């Protein structure tokens, strides 16, 4: 595809890098440092988005790129338009090959256990590095605030960290921006755990935010980085009356874990804020305590960065990294509590825990945060420069885990079982992802005792729902593959539901889901580990209706969810069609009903990339209504290319053909069979 910049210059799009809700990201041929985002033509308020992008291009903040080319913000650079009406913009290209979302480093468990396909440098991150990441995040926020912009949706998936601890903010076109004429383009989205308390209960799509709301979220991110992934308003020991209030209620009242006068005390397995330097503690008080009453009291990003760059890092006698001058080591305290709980306390007498200074980082007055060099000192052994050598020493000598592996998990769950005395498991909210094996639910399980529990049983029923809609249900044979729950750290158990045992994909369940497990027995065990993943052996009925009605509703939801992407990318193109089913159709020895159609589609969705579900009711190229058609988002200009996809995948002509998808032409000539 060839497009034009606002200057009239021509750019050619390369391969698709990503597809998102608003548009598609492409490489730019001949410009390795650019990418182009093309908005879906059916995007709501596309005209406003065009105006916003143009306004942002006219007023870029200083520092979008650093001197060596590192991208701090993916700020719009140029608009692009096509002869067919396509519209988008050019932005700087972030090197994602060695970058991770910030939660991957702030959460100790994520940091220590990267996925095989993810960058492998995160286990080497130390507390010293986390301080520098926090400072570099502040630099990125400073850069945004140099113009009349508010990040707004300041959540972890929009923050990337690379292996030099430098930080990039992405999805900049979602930020709130005010142009030179005073016209405001708002940010209508946000995550509750990063939303400032003064915005509670307001309609963000019509409410202008102020920069102090970003400073609340910034302080939360800094807290997560410095405090072992513990959210200041989610994890702690509640000493007030009744149940612990939700995070937003606590934030509105200025009560945070370990804060002055707060009824939310520090969790036993979390570091106490008093191990931090006094000036950092005062900044947290201003951000969370004083800022709850007066948002203008929150520290600016520049203040945070200045004080973070002053932090000097030493080590305790056991080798944990702590600030120089700290009265005690929180990581030693957490280790000792764990040892007591496990009954494995060491008999070795430890030396007094006095901080041992290490070589200080480069002086902040001369080197901006994160510009100590673009060498990959977290991932690559050996270097010539002294600064890099120091950092490598830190990795080798201080790279062991220095933080609590636990962090808060939103959601709830339940279980019923024959339990081991008073030792009872509890189930947190599951996270979902679609894999080649099926729907994977990762379920945090904890126990209210110090001992490890073994959960077993041949007929354990697990159901997953969002409270009103069924997600999955299956019977698991835990007699053959028991689950082991550590009494201190718990377990993060992966449960796999094959096609026919789940109804909704992760994109249909944006909020938290609950897990209910019944029919298991539990007993105290000395086993150290259980099964990494367990696959359901048999489907079970849904909780909120019969199988056919639940499957029918899920088909409609999935088709509706896919429709914007189908309309934007596949309409008026030839695409591979790999299944078409209708209730009552007899084929393959099956009289298809809703559940059969959904199972067929989901198995294909697992097997191939970019699979979409299409309803024949939305398009004019099908000869009958009420067909559920499975297509692949691999658009091309002719039928031969679409059929070439079928050949490449080794699918016969009975099960894969080329289809021209349109809502403006009739069925004639829109099907090509090899």
Across the range 352-371, mean pLDDT stands at 39
Report the alpha-carbon angle 629-635-636, nearest 5: 130
pLDDT in tens, 3-23: 999 989 999 999 988 877 788
Tokens of 247: 């995070």
Least confident residue range of 292-306, 360-374, 567-581? 360-374
Q: Residue-wise over 290-320: b if at least 16 C-beta within 10 A, else e?
A: bbbeebeebbbbebbbbbbbebbbbbbeeeb
Beta-strand relationship, 87-92 and 34-39: antiparallel
Instruction: Quote the tokens at residue 626.
Output: 């009420």
The pLDDT score that the predictor gives to residue 377 is 47
* pLDDT attached to residue 366: 35
pLDDT at 452 over 70: yes
Using one digit for the tens of pLDDT, what is the confidence trace for 58-94?
999 999 999 999 999 999 999 999 988 899 999 999 9
Among 374, 365, 362, 363, residue whose Cα is nearest residue 71: 374
Report which of residues 467 and 180 the model is more confident about. Answer: 180
User: What average pLDDT does the segment 332-344 reach?
Assistant: 80
What pairing do the DSSP bridges indicate for beta strands 87-92 and 78-81?
antiparallel
Taking residues 550-560, what's their average pLDDT?
94
Q: Name residue 629's beta-bridge partners.
A: 580, 614
Secondary structure, 3-state, 24-55: EEEEECCCCCEEEEEECCCCCCHHHHHHHHHH
- How do beta strands 176-178 and 149-150 pair? antiparallel
Secondary structure element (H or E) that encloses residue 574, with its range: strand 573-581
At 488, the pLDDT band (50, 70, 90 cuts) reads: confident
What residues contact 241, with CB distance under 8 A and at least 6 apart?
none
Comparing 433 with 512, the larger pLDDT belongs to 433
In the structure encoding, which two tokens stand for residue 540, read together? 């079970």
More confident residue, 460 or 361: 460
Question: Which of 154 and 431 is assigned the larger pLDDT?
Answer: 154
CA pair distance 372, 367, nearest whole angstrom: 7
b (16+ CB within 10 A) / e for 352-388: ebebeebeebbeeeeebbbbbbbbbbbbeeebeeebb
For CATH 3.30.200.20, the residue range(s) in the chain are 1-93
pLDDT bracket for residue 421 (50, 70, 90):
low
Give the residue, 421 or 214, on which the prediction is more confident: 214
pLDDT at 345 over 60: no
pLDDT value of residue 468:
83
Range in 7-16, 406-415, 451-460, 608-617 with the lowest mean pLDDT: 406-415
Q: Is 91 helix (H, G, I), strand (E, B) or coil?
A: strand
What CATH number matches the domain at 1-93, 3.90.1150.10, 3.40.50.2300, 3.30.200.20, 3.30.1330.10?
A: 3.30.200.20
- Quote the pLDDT of residue 459: 94
pLDDT in tens, 376-413: 445 443 333 333 333 333 333 333 333 333 333 333 34
State the chain's mean pLDDT as an integer: 86
What is residue 459's DSSP assignment?
T
What is the average per-residue pLDDT within 103-115?
A: 87
Residue 412 structure tokens: 């709830």
Neighbours of 16 (CB within 10 A): 15
User: Is residue 347 predicted with pLDDT exceeding 70?
Assistant: no
Record the pTM: 0.60
3-state secondary structure of 566: helix
261: left (phi over 0), alpha (psi -120 to 50) or beta: left
CA dihedral over 425, 428, 434, 439, signed as positive or negative: positive
């Amino acid at each position: 595809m060839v497009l034009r910049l606002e200057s009239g210059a021509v750019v050619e799009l390369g391969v698709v890098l990503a597809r998102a809700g608003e548009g598609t990201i492409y490489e730019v041929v001949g410009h390795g440092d650019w990418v182009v985002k093309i908005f879906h033509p059916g995007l709501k308020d596309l005209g406003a988005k065009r105006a916003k992008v143009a306004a942002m291009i006219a007023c870029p903040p200083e520092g979008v790129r650093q001197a060596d080319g590192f991208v701090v913000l993916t700020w719009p650079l140029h608009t692009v338009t096509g002869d067919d009406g396509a519209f988008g913009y050019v932005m700087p290209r972030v090197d994602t090959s060695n970058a991770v979302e910030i939660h991957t480093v702030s959460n100790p468990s994520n940091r220590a256990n990267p996925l095989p396909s993810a960058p492998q440098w995160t286990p080497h991150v130390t507390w010293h590095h986390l301080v520098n990441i926090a400072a570099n995040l502040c630099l990125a926020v400073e850069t945004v605030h140099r113009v009349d912009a508010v990040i707004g949706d300041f959540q972890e998936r929009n923050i990337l960290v690379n292996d030099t601890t430098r930080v990039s903010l992405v999805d900049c076109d979602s930020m709130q921006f005010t142009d030179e004429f005073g016209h405001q383009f708002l940010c209508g989205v946000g995550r509750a755990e990063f939303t400032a308390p003064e915005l509670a209960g307001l309609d963000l799509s019509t409410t202008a935010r102020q920069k102090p709301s970003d400073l609340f979220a910034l302080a939360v991110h800094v807290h997560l980085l410095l405090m072992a992934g513990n959210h200041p308003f989610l994890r702690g020991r509640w000493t007030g009356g009744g149940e612990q209030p939700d995070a937003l209620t606590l934030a509105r009242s200025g009560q945070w874990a370990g804060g002055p006068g707060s009824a939310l005390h520090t969790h036993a397995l979390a570091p106490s804020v008093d191990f931090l330097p006094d000036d950092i503690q005062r900044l947290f008080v201003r951000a969370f305590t004083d800022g709850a009453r007066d948002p203008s009291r929150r520290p600016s990003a520049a203040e945070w960065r200045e004080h973070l760059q002053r932090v000097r890092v030493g080590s305790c006698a056991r080798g944990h990294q702590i600030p120089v001058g700290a009265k005690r080591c929180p990581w030693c305290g957490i280790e000792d509590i764990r040892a007591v709980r496990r009954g494995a306390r060491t008999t070795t007498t430890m030396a007094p825990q006095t901080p041992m200074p290490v070589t200080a980082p480069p002086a902040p007055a001369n080197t901006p945060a994160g510009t100590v060099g673009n060498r990959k000192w977290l991932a690559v052994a050996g270097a010539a420069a002294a600064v890099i050598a120091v950092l490598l020493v830190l990795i080798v000598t201080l790279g062991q885990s220095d933080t609590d592996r636990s962090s808060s998990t939103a959601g709830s769950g339940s279980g019923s079982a024959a339990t081991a005395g008073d030792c009872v498991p509890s189930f947190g909210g599951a996270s979902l992802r679609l894999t080649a094996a099926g729907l994977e639910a990762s379920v945090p399980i904890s126990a209210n005792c110090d001992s490890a529990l073994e959960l077993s049983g041949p007929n354990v029923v697990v159901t997953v729902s969002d409270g009103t809609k069924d997600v999955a249900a299956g019977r698991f044979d835990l007699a053959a593959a028991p689950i082991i729950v550590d009494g201190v750290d718990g377990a993060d158990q992966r449960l796999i539901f094959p096609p026919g045992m789940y109804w909704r994909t992760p994109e249909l369940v944006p909020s938290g889901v609950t897990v209910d497990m019944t029919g298991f027995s539990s007993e105290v065990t000395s086993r150290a580990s259980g099964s990494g993943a367990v696959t359901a052996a048999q489907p079970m009925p849904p909780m909120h209706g019969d199988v056919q009605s639940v499957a029918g509703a899920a088909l409609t939801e999935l088709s509706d969810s896919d429709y914007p992407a189908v309309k934007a990318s596949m309409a008026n193109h030839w695409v591979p069609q790999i299944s078409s089913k209708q209730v009552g159709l007899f084929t393959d020895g099956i009289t298809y009903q809703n559940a059969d159609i959904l199972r067929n589609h989901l198995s294909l969705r697992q097997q191939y990339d970019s699979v979409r579900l299409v309803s024949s009711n939305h398009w004019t190229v099908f000869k009958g209504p009420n067909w559920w058609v499975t297509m692949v988002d691999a658009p091309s200009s002719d039928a031969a290319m679409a059929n070439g996809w079928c050949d490449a995948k080794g699918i016969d002509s009975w099960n894969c053909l080329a289809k021209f998808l349109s809502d403006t032409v009739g069925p004639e000539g829109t099907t090509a069979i090899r």
